[in-house]
Structure 1
Amino acid sequence: MIQILYIEDEIDIGSWVTKELTEREYVVTWLKNGENAEKYLQNADIVILDIMLPGLDGFSIGKRIKNEIADLPILMLSARTAVEDKIEGLSFADDYLTKPFHPDELVARIEVLLRRFQKNEDILEIKHLKVYTKDRRVVNSNTNEEISLTGKQYYLFQYFIRNLNQILTKEQLYEGVWGETYMEGDKTLMVHIRYLREKLEENPAKPMIIETIRGIGYRVKV
């Protein structure tokens, strides 16, 4: 699933854009300012950025993002229509769309940028699975069928992939995926791992991909 980092302080338009993109099955992280944007950059496939923001303006934020990750596409989304603003925005951003706009045009521009910046897919092979990390797809190489994972299931599996061959505690997994402190007795993680095994394992009763390390946590190894 494509992850979008969206920085917009206007509640009405921010809610509308987030709703439109979510309905089109994008994963949207909406921030009201750019103060903590750097925390979300590594997981973002594209940044949508307003200019007029509290604190640092969109121009300053966008330049910082490009300096940090040059191949992360940025789409400026602004009510400012002056040629000077567009020129400044396009000096670092990859596209500039003025408000008001139709959501179909926004989606079309997003897709163009994603295609332009598409890298060669990294394929990770784990037992009978092929994980296309850039495209966020998991395929059963025995049947050549794609395995459909929910957003949270994929985030959990992705966290394992980022920490391949490492034993991860329940606390690490819960905090890494849900962003909250793990409470002893909470069954959320256990339930998600059970569902994930049902989809990924050849025999969920004898898991070979997501291993249980008794008394510690779990591990995915290659």
Structure 2
Amino acid sequence: MTNILIADDDSHILQLVNIHLSEAGYKVFQAKDGTEALEILNRQACDLAVVDVMMPFMDGYALIKEIRKKYDIPIILLTAKNQIEDKEEGFRSGTDDYLVKPFEPKELNFRIEALLRRYDKQLDESIIRLGSTTINKKNYEVEVGDRTIILPLKEFELLHFLSSNPMQVFSRDHLIEQIWGMDYEGDERTVDVHVKRLRERFSKFTDDFQIRTVRGVGYLLEARRR
């Protein structure tokens, strides 16, 4: 399911957008200000953010700049203003699109769909998201909420491969071939050791996924359902 973050201090707007986006099949996370929005993003991976300009504690422009520092997601800016200066500031902050209040919920849906399609084309299979966990093969880092974990190379490659194929069982021989190569001279216990290390590392930080043992066959990665 696609997760949408809505940040707006107007409870009526939050309720309206939540109803229409939920009916459209999205899972909506609501924030009443920029600080709360960042807290949600730290614990929950979102696919798109809808951000109001005028909010207490942190306005929409500042929130967008903070999102851009860490998350590569499309952003729609909501505002009651329609001046070119406000649009300019919004785009300079990093928004992808701009919608003036009052707006038709259907138009917001159309803009969300268009942005998600655009970003889907840009996204690389090297980035995998499991709940609040992001496995990024571009920089070989794993992010769990606001924590960044650097793994040894083979542990990372094993986690990335299993995460790319969730709920699919792989034999130890197949994993050795995929991760270590056909010329590897070690034995299949190497896989067991690496799986054990991954379990020990991540069990302390997240339940977004589990690497399960399938007796007599091998291993599979199970992502938590939300």
TM-score range, shorter chain: 0.5 to 0.7
Q: Distance in 1 between matches of 2:100 and 2:84?
A: 11
1:175-215 deviations in Å (ceiling 9; x for gaps) = x57xxxxxxxxxxxxxxxxxxxxxx9999xxx96479xxxx
Q: Find out whether 1:130 has 2:165 as its counterpart.
A: yes
| CA RMSD between the two structures | 3.9
Compared CA separation, residues 34 and 126, structure 1 to 2 (3 A): same
Compared CA separation, residues 172 and 55, structure 1 to 2 (3 A): closer
Q: Find out whether 1:94 has 2:93 as its counterpart.
A: no
Residue 5 of structure 1 aligns to a residue whose secondary structure is strand
Match of 2:67 in 1: 65
Match of 2:47 in 1: 45
Match of 1:121 in 2: 125
Residue 117 of structure 1 aligns to a residue whose secondary structure is helix
In the TM superposition, residue 41 of structure 1 has moved relative to its aligned partner by: 2.7
Which amino acid in 2 is paired with 1:120?
Answer: D
In the TM superposition, residue 35 of structure 1 has moved relative to its aligned partner by: 1.2
Q: Distance in 2 between matches of 1:111 and 1:164?
A: 40
Match of 2:113 in 1: 111
Compared CA separation, residues 21 and 201, structure 1 to 2 (3 A): farther
In the TM superposition, residue 37 of structure 1 has moved relative to its aligned partner by: 2.6
Q: Distance in 1 between matches of 2:38 and 2:13?
A: 23
Which amino acid in 1 is paired with 2:53?
Answer: I
Compared CA separation, residues 15 and 208, structure 1 to 2 (3 A): same
Q: Distance in 2 between matches of 1:108 and 1:29?
A: 19
Q: How many residues get paired? A: 159
Q: Distance in 2 between matches of 1:24 and 1:10?
A: 21
Compared CA separation, residues 19 and 165, structure 1 to 2 (3 A): same
Match of 2:11 in 1: 11
In the TM superposition, residue 81 of structure 1 has moved relative to its aligned partner by: 1.4
Q: Distance in 1 between matches of 2:199 and 2:35?
A: 32
Which amino acid in 2 is paired with 1:80?
Answer: K
Match of 1:216 in 2: none
Is the deviation greater in 32-41 or in 90-99? 32-41
Residue 6 of structure 1 aligns to a residue whose secondary structure is strand
Residue 102 of structure 2 aligns to a residue whose secondary structure is coil
**Structure 1 length-normalised TM:** 0.58
**Structure 2 length-normalised TM:** 0.57
Which amino acid in 2 is paired with 1:30?
Answer: Q
Q: Distance in 2 between matches of 1:21 and 1:52?
A: 22
- Would you say the 8 A contact 2:52–2:77 is kept in 1? yes
Residue 35 of structure 2 aligns to a residue whose secondary structure is coil
Match of 1:166 in 2: 199
Residue 36 of structure 1 aligns to a residue whose secondary structure is helix
Residue 84 of structure 1 aligns to a residue whose secondary structure is helix
Residue 35 of structure 1 aligns to a residue whose secondary structure is helix
Alignment of 1:192-203 (within 5 A): none
Match of 1:184 in 2: none
Residue 22 of structure 1 aligns to a residue whose secondary structure is helix
In the TM superposition, residue 46 of structure 1 has moved relative to its aligned partner by: 1.0
Q: Distance in 1 between matches of 2:100 and 2:214?
A: 50
Q: Distance in 1 between matches of 2:58 and 2:99?
A: 20
- Would you say the 8 A contact 2:8–2:31 is kept in 1? yes
1:140-161 deviations in Å (ceiling 9; x for gaps) = 99xxxxxxxxxxxxxxxxxxxx
Residue 121 of structure 1 aligns to a residue whose secondary structure is coil
In the TM superposition, residue 50 of structure 1 has moved relative to its aligned partner by: 0.1
